[in-house]
Amino acid sequence: MAGERAAIRYAKAVLSLATEKKTAEVVNSDMELITNTIAQSKDLKDMLYSPVIRSSVKKSALLEIFKNSNEATTNLIDVLIANKRTSLLPEVATTYTRLFEEQKGSQIAIVTTAVPLTDALETKVLAKVKELTGKDTAIKNIVDENILGGFILRVGDTEYNASIANQLNKLKREFTLN
């Protein structure tokens, strides 16, 4: 919980700075790249969370991986490293993107499925989210085989978990309590 609040504060600060310098769109692209890169690399994620790896090693690795990033993005990495909060980087990046979309008047619906969404299903999800929220929405599909089937829909702070894995966990909890 404290990490989430800190991530929001860092993301708001970067968004404010980027908006002031009129680079919010470029920084958003950096944040999306950071989110995707960390999500796809277990080694990078492990490095960010490792208490054993020195801050100087983390800094040089991150600055090399994201060397074409905007100044605001590299400053964020520097601040997170100086404050020993590198584990917050993925959360700060996703929060920045969400706040940026809200600032533009749209939002991102994150749909996690076991297999990639088809175009027809994506259109249905977009229509339903627009009906529920009344806002323009972009869809980001995350494929995670661990949910087995179904989907997890996250729009802003609201999450609807209709995954098979979630239903199996509920059944498991029911049987262990009785």
Give the Cα separation of 89 and 81 in Å (integer). 10
Give the Cα separation of 20 and 35 in Å (integer). 23
- 118 and 65 fall within a common domain: no
pTM of the model: 0.65
pLDDT digits (tens, 9 = 90+) for 114-141: 888 888 888 888 888 888 777 778 888 8
Mean residue pLDDT across the chain = 87
Q: What are residue 91's DSSP bridge partners?
A: none
pLDDT digits (tens, 9 = 90+) for 52-66: 999 999 999 999 999
- 92 and 134 fall within a common domain: no
Total domain count, the chain: 2
- 73 and 133 fall within a common domain: no
Q: What is the mean pLDDT of residues 28-44?
A: 91
- 111 and 89 fall within a common domain: no
Place of tokens 């175009």: 119
- 18 and 66 fall within a common domain: yes
**178: pLDDT confidence band, cut at 50, 70 and 90?**
low
- Of 52, 80, 101, the last residue of a domain is 101
- Of 84, 101, 118, the last residue of a domain is 101
- 114 and 145 fall within a common domain: yes
- 95 and 113 fall within a common domain: no
- Residue-by-residue DSSP string for 29-82: HHHHHHHHHHHH-HHHHHHHH-SSS-HHHHHHHHHHHTTT--HHHHHHHHHHHH
- 120 and 89 fall within a common domain: no
- 96 and 142 fall within a common domain: no
Give the Cα separation of 30 and 159 in Å (integer). 25
Give the Cα separation of 94 and 15 in Å (integer). 12
Question: Residue 60 sits in which domain range?
Answer: 2-101
